[in-house]
Structure 1
Amino acid sequence: MIKKKPTTPGQRGKIILKNSFHYFRNFKKLKINIKKSPGRNNQGKITVRHKSKGVKKKYRKIDFLREKKYIYGCIKSIEYDPYRNCNISLVSYLDGEYRYIIHLYGLNINDFIINSPKNHPKIGNSMLIKNIPIGIKVCCVELVPGKGAKILRSAGCYALVYSKDMKFTYLKMKNGSLKKINNNCNAVVGCVDNSDFYLVKLGKAGTNIRKGIRPTVRGVAMNPVDHPHGGGEGKTTSKRHPVSYKGKLTKGLKTSKK
C-alpha cells in the first residue's frame, strides 16, 4: 500500500496498492475486445446514467469451469486484470495449453494445481464441494453443477465449509449467513487475493472517468422534474424516505429473493 505525496491536488489523499506483477508472455487468444456502450441509444440520448466508454481495455478469458481434469498446471505469471478488483494467474498445463484463473492468496509462481472431483485440499485445487473437509476456506463456487463459478470471485472473498448433509453443503459467508450449495458443485480451495483493495482511494474524479464511470449528482441538488428529492428553496432535505430517481426505496428495501 502506497500513500502518495501531495505534490498535486489529485495526489492528495490518494492511496494505491503496490503489486509486484510477473508477466510471462502475451497470449492474444486469451484476450478479446468487448464492444463498449457509453449508455446512450441510437439517438444519442442517455439511457443508462453514470456511464461512459472509458479507456481501451481487453477482456481476459477466465477459466471459471476448471474443466481440464486430472492434468497438473503450473502457475507462470501473476497479472493485472482491468475488468476485476482481483489479480489473475496464467496457468500452463502439462499438455501445453494455457489458461487464466483467479489468483489466490498464497499461490506463487511455479506452484502446481490440479482439477479433479476428489484430491488433496491444497490452495488452488478445484474439486467437488462435498469432498472438501469442514473448516476449509473456499472461493469461486458454482451455484449450478457444470455452469462455472458464480460467487466468491471478488478480491478477498472466501467462505468456510460449515456442514454437510446427503444433498447439500452449507457455506458460512463473511457476513455470518449460511448458503446452501449442491454437493455436485465445484469449488476452489483458498481465498481470493488482493484483500486490501478496499483501502484504495482514487484521489480525483478523473480516475473514475477513465474507468467509464461518470459523476453522480445528489438528488437534493436537482429540480423536481429530475428527482423525487429535488426542488425546494435553498438547502433543504427531502421530507420522505430516501428513494432512487425512479421512486424506489434505497434503504432497507430487500431486493434478494429467498
Structure 2
Amino acid sequence: MATLTRALQKLALTSTQNAPKVLTSVRYRHVPPPKPEIGHGKSYRRIVHFPENYTVKPLDVTNLGGRDPETGRLAVKGIGGGIKHKYHWIDWRRVGPSEGPPQTERVIKIIKDGCRTAFVALVAHGDKLKYILATENMKPGDLIKTSCHIPRIPVRANEGDAYPLGALPLGTQVHCIEKVPGLGGFLVHTAGSFATIMRKVDNRVIVMMPSKKEFSLLENCMCTVGRLSNVEHATTPIGSAQKNRELGNRPRSGWWQRKTGRFGRKLRRPPPVKTIGPKEDTNQEVVKLSFDGYFCKTPRAQFHY
C-alpha cells in the first residue's frame, strides 16, 4: 500500500492534456565536479612557474601533493609530502652553426636537481649561461661542442657534444633526442639511460630507445652524445620508509597484512609427513599376568624377572 501511495504522489494531471505526467525527484539533482584524468601530460606533483625569459635562477614551485589544481580533488593517492626542491630550468634546444666550425661551450659546475633523476650541468658560452643534462663522465672545466652541420664523413664526437643524428656514426649512444627538428630534446631524459643509433635509410635514422623500441627520425634532428649521469640511480635502494616519504611518496595502503591469507597462502611451516599403512587394531584383548613370584628358580639375581 505504501508503494502505491508513493507512486500516486508523483502523478499530476495537466490542464492541456489528460495524460498523467511523472514528476522526478530533485533530491539527487546535484552534479559533482568532473574527476581529474590521470596522465595526459599531468603529474599532479608540482606546478613550476616559468617566467617569460630564460633564466638560470631557481624557479618557484607549487607542490600539489597529488591533487587537481582546479577542483582540489585527490587525483593520485601515492603522492604527498616530501622535501621542497628547487627547480632548475633546462634549455632543451642545443643550437649551433649550420656551417663552419662548431660552437664551443664550457661546463662550469654540475649540481643535483631534486626535481629530476639525472644531474644538471651549468654551461657557459660567452656571457650566456644555461642548464643542460649532464652526461656520465662530465666534470667541471670540460669543453663541449654544438653544431647543426651534417658532413659527408661521420663525426667522432665526445661526451656532451650535440650534433644531428645524421652526422654521427652507427652505434653511437645518444640522449635528449628531438622528435621534430627545432622542438628540443624530447626523448631519453632518465638517469643512466641512452639510445643507440642502429642504421640509416635515405634521409632518416633508426634509433633504438632504452625500451628496445626503434624510432625512425629525420637525420637533422639534434641529439646529445653520451649516456646520462647518475647511472646508479635505478639500482640504489631507498633504504627506509622515512626516506621514501621525503621523496614525496605516500604509502600505497595502510592495511597491508601478508599473513592473513588475503594475498595468498599464509607463511607457515608445511604439515609433517603423513604415513599411510594398514590400520592398527586397537580393540585387542589385554592379558595381564597376576603371578608375583620368580619365573626361574635360581639364586642368581640377574635371572630373576
Q: 1:235 aligns with which of 237, 256, 261?
A: 261
1:159 aligns with 2:226: no
Equivalent residue, structure 1, for 2:93: 65
Amino acid at match of 1:131: A
Q: 1:36 aligns with which of 51, 63, 77?
A: 63
Cα contact 2:65–2:79 (8 A) shared by 1: yes
Q: 1:88 aligns with which of 107, 120, 141?
A: 120
Closer/same/farther in 2, CA of residues 205 and 172 from structure 1, 3 Å limit? same
1:74 aligns with 2:106: yes
Amino acid at match of 1:168: R
Equivalent residue, structure 2, for 1:111: 142
Q: 1:136 aligns with which of 155, 168, 172?
A: 172
SS in 1 for 2:103: coil
**Which residues in structure 2 correspond to 1:204-219 (within 5 Å)?**
204-217=240-253
Cα contact 2:56–2:131 (8 A) shared by 1: no
Which blocks of at least 5 consecutive residues in structure 2 are unaligned?
A: 1-54, 150-154, 265-305
TM-score by length of 1: 0.69
| Structure 1 residue 220: Cα displacement | 8.0
In 2: Cα distance, 1:151 partner to 1:136 partner: 15
- Any idea what the Cα deviations from partners look like across 1:189-222, whole Å, max 9, x if unmatched? 111111111221112111121222111128987x
**Which residues in structure 2 correspond to 1:130-209 (within 5 Å)?**
130-209=166-245
Cα contact 1:172–1:178 (8 A) shared by 2: yes
In 2: Cα distance, 1:117 partner to 1:103 partner: 20
Cα contact 1:167–1:183 (8 A) shared by 2: yes
In 1: Cα distance, 2:72 partner to 2:196 partner: 48
Larger Rg: 2
Aligned residue pairs: how many?
Answer: 198
SS in 1 for 2:63: coil
Cα contact 1:220–1:237 (8 A) shared by 2: no
Equivalent residue, structure 1, for 2:267: none
TM-score by length of 2: 0.59
Equivalent residue, structure 1, for 2:84: 56
- Shifted more, 38-47 versus 138-147: the winner is 38-47
In 1: Cα distance, 2:130 partner to 2:56 partner: 10
- Any idea what the Cα deviations from partners look like across 1:72-130, whole Å, max 9, x if unmatched? 2111111111011111111111x211111111122222111121113652211111111
- Any idea what the Cα deviations from partners look like across 1:132-173, whole Å, max 9, x if unmatched? 111211111111211111111111111221101123211133
Amino acid at match of 2:143: F
- Shifted more, 156-165 versus 49-58: the winner is 49-58
Equivalent residue, structure 1, for 2:74: 46
Which blocks of at least 5 consecutive residues in structure 1 are unaligned?
A: 1-27, 222-233, 239-258
Closer/same/farther in 2, CA of residues 33 and 68 from structure 1, 3 Å limit? farther
Closer/same/farther in 2, CA of residues 87 and 172 from structure 1, 3 Å limit? same
Q: Which has the higher contact order (CA 8 A, sep 6+)?
A: 1
Amino acid at match of 2:144: I
Closer/same/farther in 2, CA of residues 31 and 144 from structure 1, 3 Å limit? same
In 2: Cα distance, 1:30 partner to 1:68 partner: 24
Closer/same/farther in 2, CA of residues 68 and 81 from structure 1, 3 Å limit? farther
Amino acid at match of 1:32: L
Equivalent residue, structure 2, for 1:255: none
**Sequence identity (%):** 24
| Structure 1 residue 30: Cα displacement | 3.1
Amino acid at match of 1:200: T
Closer/same/farther in 2, CA of residues 151 and 43 from structure 1, 3 Å limit? closer
Query: Structure 1: which 4+ aligned runs deviate by more than 6 Å?
Result: 218-221
